[in-house]
């Protein structure tokens, strides 16, 4: 059973209990480029109380550096080493777990942020934002030259997805022996400022269906993401809380990592999802309407 936070003393108790606060971004701090009311003040309140703040996002469209630009643009204090995106975690996974030989490459379905993180980890790639893949011309195998050095396909949220990208990824995954299928995350939807859009999971779904196999997924709720954070941020799980809006990523992620979980209702999950007749079996430790509610914390 979750504890519903609703009074200034509830908020004060939580602030006292946890030293490290991991924040999901989309649906918790903002919706698209629209800040959640009170988010800036509450983050400031946590910093004034010397809390460690980490931003943990499955959104692979931006690198850590480009997320820092977004934080700056929105007037939210954030430092690059506090930001952990699934693009970064995927690049670290490929460089430190797969350990690709220098001449090997990955084929990317994704955007500039994912390319930037791969480059920063020294990983060669083809595809991604390359204009040649952005064509709306029908894909033809007879004109396609397979790059035999491609040993993995990486798929993240790509708002310019098309049949050519899916077809090239499918060729690599079916014709290059041992080619790895990796997705940055599997979120079904993306909570934009004006409503839900298909998420990264919906971008890789056609490949899963065509291949008849599941990829390795790096982002929340996978432990890969948490291992990446622990290696850099060294937090104490017993005094850490994950604040998220999505039960099957953020809350499961916290539970898998042995950290406490706080669900907010400003993103994907609604009141109905946690109290209705078909309430989810995923039960967060705490629930609050919005992160902004912490503004009224008892002094
Ligand atoms: O489709 C996606 O990639 C996700 O909906 C989105 O980007 C999630 O971001 P987060 O809520 O983890 O910040």
Instruction: Return the pLDDT at 1.
Output: 86
In the chain, % of residues over pLDDT 90: 93
26 assigned to active site: yes
* 86 touches ligand 1 (CB under 6 Å): no
Ligand 1 mean position, distance from CA 59 (Å): 4
Q: Which residues are annotated as a binding site for Mg(2+)?
A: 24, 26, 245
pLDDT tens, position by position, 135-157 = 888 999 998 999 999 999 999 99
- Residue 65: CB atoms within 10 Å: 14
* 31 touches ligand 1 (CB under 6 Å): no
Q: What is the mean pLDDT of the chain?
A: 96
| Contacts with 158 (C-beta within 8 Å, 6 or more apart), sequence order | 109, 110, 111, 165, 203
Instruction: Return the pLDDT at 207.
Output: 98
- ipTM score of the complex? 0.97
Considering 10, 16, 19, 24, which one is annotated as catalytic?
Answer: 24
Read off the pLDDT band of 130 (50, 70, 90). very high
**pLDDT at 102 > cutoff 90:** no
Ligand 1 mean position, distance from CA 286 (Å): 21
**pLDDT at 6 > cutoff 90:** yes
Q: What is the mean pLDDT of residues 272-276?
A: 91
Q: How far apart are CA 118 and CA 112, in angstroms?
A: 10
More confident residue, 71 or 136: 71
pLDDT tens, position by position, 259-271 = 999 999 999 999 9
**pLDDT at 3 > cutoff 90:** yes
Instruction: Return the pLDDT at 148.
Output: 96
pLDDT tens, position by position, 40-62 = 999 999 999 999 999 999 999 99
Its pTM stands at 0.94
**pLDDT at 82 > cutoff 80:** yes
Using most ligand atoms within 8 A of CB, pick from 28, 56, 57 the residue to mutate for ligand 1. 57
pLDDT tens, position by position, 219-266 = 999 999 999 999 999 899 999 999 999 999 999 999 999 999 999 999
């Amino acid at each position: 059973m979750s504890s519903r936070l609703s009074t200034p003393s509830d908020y004060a108790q939580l602030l006292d209990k946890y030293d490290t606060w991991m924040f999901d971004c989309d649906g918790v701090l903002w919706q698209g480029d629209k800040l959640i009311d009170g988010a800036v003040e509450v983050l400031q309140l946590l910093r004034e109380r010397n809390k460690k703040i980490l931003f943990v996002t499955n959104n692979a469209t931006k690198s850590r550096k480009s997320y820092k630009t977004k934080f700056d643009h929105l007037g939210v204090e954030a430092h690059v080493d506090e930001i952990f995106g699934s693009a970064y975690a995927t690049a670290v996974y490929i460089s430190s777990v797969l350990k690709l030989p220098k001449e090997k490459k990955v084929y990317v379905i994704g955007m500039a942020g994912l390319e930037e993180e791969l480059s920063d980890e020294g990983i060669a790639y083809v595809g991604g934002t390359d204009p040649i893949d952005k064509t709306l011309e029908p894909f033809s195998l007879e004109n396609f030259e397979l790059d035999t050095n491609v040993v993995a396909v990486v798929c993240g949220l790509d708002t310019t997805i098309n049949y050519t990208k899916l077809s090239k990824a499918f060729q690599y995954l079916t014709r290059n022996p041992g080619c790895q299928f990796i997705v940055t995350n599997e979120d079904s939807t993306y909570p934009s400022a004006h409503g839900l859009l298909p998420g990264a999971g919906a971008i890789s779904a056609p490949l899963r269906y065509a291949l008849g196999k599941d990829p390795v997924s790096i982002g929340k709720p996978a432990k890969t993401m948490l291992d990446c954070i622990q290696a850099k941020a060294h937090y104490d799980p017993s005094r850490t809380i994950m604040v998220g809006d999505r039960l099957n990523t953020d809350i499961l992620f916290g539970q898998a990592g042995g950290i406490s979980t706080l669900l907010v209702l400003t993103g994907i999950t609604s009141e109905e999802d946690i109290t209705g007749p078909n309430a989810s079996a995923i039960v967060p430790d705490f629930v609050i309407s919005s992160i902004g509610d912490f503004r009224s914390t008892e002094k």
